[in-house]
Amino acid sequence: MENIVGGKSALVWAVHLSVGLLVVLWLFPTVGLFVSSFRTADQISSSGWWSSLGEVQQNLVLRAADPDEFRVERDGRYVVEGTLFEEGVAAKITVWGTSSRRIDEFKPGDVADLKKGETITVDAVGNYLWSGPEERMKGRGQRVFVTAQTPPDFTLANYDNMLFEEDNLEGMSNAFFSTLTVTIPATIIPIAIAAFAAYALAWMEFPGRSLLIAAVVGLLVVPLQLALIPLLKLHLGIGIGKGYLGVWLAHTGFGLPLAIYLLRNYMASLPRDIIENARVDGATDFQIFTRIILPLSYPALASFAIFQFLWTWNDLLVAKVFLIDATGETTVMTNHIVELLGTRGGNWEILATAAFVSIAVPLLVFFLMQRYLVRGLLAGSVK
C-alpha cells in the first residue's frame, strides 16, 4: 500500500485495523465452538464461552471438615484446620462470609466471630482455621460463603467420551472410520481415470477433441441433484444397492469433470519440446504418459486430490442418498452430526466435540497443503 498512500500513515493504520477486525470476525465462530468442546456441560450452559477465557467469578457455598472427626485440642481450645477447596482447584477468594445474607462480610485473612468464643478465619487460597470451646465444635462443619475467582478450566473429557468410550452409542469413532473409508477410494480412483483422459485431451490429436473439452466444461457445472434419482435407480437395479461401492462410484463420477479439467489444463501447459523429443526417440504414448507427463503433473494431481478429499469428507448429500440405508448401520460424520443436532439440540458439549472431530482432519489438510489448494482454485474456476 505504501506507494499508493504515500505519507498518509493514518490510512495505513486504518488498513491494519480493518484487516485485524475482519480476521477476528472470521475466526470468532470457529474459536467459539473449539473452546466449547473443551468445557463441561455445566460450564457451557452456565456462561458464554467468551467468559471462560478469562477468570470466572463464582459464588460458592463450602463447608469446613467434620469437627467430630478432625478437631484437635490446642491450648484448651478445639481447632479444625484445612482447606475449603478440593485439591487442584486454584481459586482465589476475594470476599467471604458466614451467613447467606452477608456473603461479602469479610476479606481474606479477617477473623469472623461466631459468638460464644467460636471464630473462623479464611485466607485467599481457601485455608481456614476454625476454633472454639469444646461444646461449640461438634455437629456439622461450619458453612462458609465465598466469592472466588477461578482460572480458566478446560477438560478433554468430551473428546474422551465421543471418541474412545466404547459404550457411547453416539460416539464418533464408527462414523469417523466410515468417512475415512468413503473418502480415500473416492479420492484416488477418479485421479487414475482422469489422468489418462486428460493426457489424451491435452496431447493427442483426434477429431472431436475440442467438442469433448467443451462437454467436460459443461458437465463441470451440472448440479448433482439431477443425478440422484436416476443413479439410485441404476444402483438398485444392477444390485449394487446402497453401500460403500455405490458411494465410491458416485463420487468418482461427480469428481471426474473437475479432475479432467484441472489435469488437462496443467498438462497442456507443459513444454511441447519434452514430449516431442520423447516421440522422436521412439517413446510410445503410454511411455510418454507414465514416464514424463505423470511425474511432471504432480502439483495438479495434488491440487485435485485435496479438492476431492475435502469435498468427499465434507459431503452430506451423496452419502445420504447412496450410502446410508434404512438400517442406519453405516453413517458418515456429517450425517451423524445432523442426527445429533436433532436429538441433542441443546447439548453443546456433545455437538461441539462431534463437529470438531469432523472438522479437525480437513483443517489439518488445509493448513499443510494450502498452496496446492490455492493453485487448484485458481486453475479450476473457469475463466
Partner 1 sequence: MHPALQGLITIILGVGGCLGYFYLANQILDKVIFPPRLDDAGRNINRANMVRPWLFLFPAIFALGLYLAYPVFETLRLSLTDRLQDGAFVGLANYQQMFGEDKFWEAMRNNMLWLIVVPAVSTAFGLLVAQLTDRIAWGNIAKSLIFMPMAISFVGASVIFKLIYDARPVGREQIGVLNAVWLQFEGGVGSFLFLRLLPAIILLGFALVVAYTVWLVLRPILTGRRRSGWWLSALQTALSALGIYLAILAVINTVQVFRIEHVYGQPQTWLTLPFWNNFFLMVVLIWIQTGFAMVILSAALRGIPEETVEAAILDGANPFQVFFRIKVPQIMGTIVVVWTTITLTVLKVFDIVFAMTNGQWQTQVLANYMFDKLFRANDWGTGSAAAIIIMLLVTPILVWNIVNARREMR
Contacts of 303 (CB under 8 A, 6+ apart): 262, 372, 373, 375, 376, 379, 380
**Residue 159 beta carbon to partner 1: minimum distance, rounded to whole angstroms:** 16
Q: Nearest distance from residue 202's CB to partner 1, in Å?
A: 11
d(CA 125, CA 82): 11
Q: Does residue number 383 form part of the binding site for partner 1 (CB under 8 A)?
A: yes
Residues 290-319 that bind partner 1 (CB under 8 A): 310, 313-317
Binding region for partner 1 (CB under 8 A) out of 99-107, 110-118, 126-134, 204-212 = 204-212
Q: How far is the CB of 357 from partner 1 (least distance, A)?
A: 10
What residues numbered 27-66 form the site for partner 1, per CB under 8 A?
A: 27-30, 32-33, 36, 44-50
Q: What is the x/- site pattern for partner 1, positions 205-224, by CB under 8 A? A: xx--xx-xxxxxxxxxxxxx
> From CA 280, how far away is CA 360, in angstroms rounded?
50
Residue placing its CB nearer to partner 1 in the complex, 60 or 359: 359
Site for partner 1 in 222-251 (CB under 8 A): 222-231, 233-234, 244-245, 248-250
When the beta carbons of 90 and 341 are compared against partner 1, the nearer one is 341
- CB nearer partner 1, residue 96 or residue 254: 254
Q: Which of 85, 130, 355, 372 binds partner 1 (CB under 8 A)?
A: 355
Q: Is 143 helix (H, G, I), strand (E, B) or coil?
A: strand
Residues 6+ apart with CB under 8 A from 207: none
* Nearest partner of 64 among 49, 44, 84, judged by Cα: 84
Binding segment (CB under 8 A) for partner 1, from list 95-103, 112-120, 148-156, 190-198: 190-198
Residue 363 as a binder of partner 1 (CB under 8 A): the answer is: yes
CA 314 vs CA 102, 198, 226, 369, 375: distances in Å: 55, 26, 20, 17, 20
* CA distances (Å), origin 198, targets 260, 266, 272, 297: 5, 9, 15, 11
Nearest approach in angstroms of CB 61 to partner 1 is 19
Q: Based on CB atoms, which residue is closest to partner 1, 78 or 372?
A: 372
The residue behind cell 471462560 is 52
Binding residues among 3-32 for partner 1 as defined by CB under 8 A: 3-5, 11, 15-16, 18-20, 22-23, 26-30, 32
Determine if residue 243 is left, alpha or beta; phi over 0 gives left, psi from -120 to 50 gives alpha, anything else beta: left
Residue number, 139 or 225, with CB nearest to partner 1: 225
**From CA 176, how far away is CA 178, in angstroms rounded?**
5
d(CA 302, CA 295) in angstroms, rounded, equals: 11
